[in-house]
């Protein structure tokens, strides 16, 4: 599946667009939060949260997606930390985040149980 996402994100166009997810935008998320974005893909949600004034880390196992996340962040004048990792193996250290989001993050049972 990782190869699938790398191939999908190799296109110039952003697969899910440049705008953050509507549900996420409808939430009253403030600034100054330490936020972890799971399976963030090309960065539309993480960049949105960074533009609100948050400290954002985006995790995905697709390096191609994270490269586009870095580009989108730069274009928007914000910084996000990108971590290339498989969420089925990563230790999220849940207590160290103010907020953890996962938009369109569909995982097999084994990954869900690990998270
Ligand atoms: C449907 S896309 C959603 C992307 C992004 N959250 C958004 O809303 O635009 C699903 C994402 O999950 C990532 N993903 C799937 N399984 C993963 C895993 N085990 N570890 C890390 N990322 C994973 C894929 O690389 C892909 O970027």
Q: What is the pLDDT of residues 38-58, one digit of tens each?
A: 999 999 999 999 999 999 999
Q: Is the CB of 16 under 6 A from ligand 1?
A: yes
Residue 75's pLDDT is what?
98
CATH number, domain with residue 81: 3.40.50.150
Q: Is the CB of 62 under 6 A from ligand 1?
A: yes
Q: How many domains does the chain have?
A: 1
70 alpha carbon – ligand 1 mean position (Å): 16
Domain limits at 80? 2-8+29-114
Ranges of the chain whose pLDDT falls below 70: none
Question: Which residues are bridge partners to 59 per DSSP?
Answer: 83
In a domain, 22, yes or no: no
Q: Is the CB of 64 under 6 A from ligand 1?
A: no
Other CB atoms closer than 10 Å to residue 9's CB: what's the count?
21
């Amino acid at each position: 599946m990782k190869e699938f996402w790398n191939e999908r994100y190799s296109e110039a166009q952003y697969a899910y667009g440049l705008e953050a997810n509507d549900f996420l935008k409808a939430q009253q998320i403030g600034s100054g939060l330490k936020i972890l974005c799971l399976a963030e893909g090309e960065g539309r949600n993480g960049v949105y949260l960074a533009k609100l004034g948050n400290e954002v880390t985006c995790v995905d196992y697709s390096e191609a997606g994270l490269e586009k996340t870095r580009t989108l962040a730069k274009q928007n004048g914000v910084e996000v930390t990108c971590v290339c990792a498989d969420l089925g193996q990563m230790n999220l250290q849940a207590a160290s985040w103010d907020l953890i989001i996962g938009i369109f993050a569909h995982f097999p049972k084994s990954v869900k149980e690990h998270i």
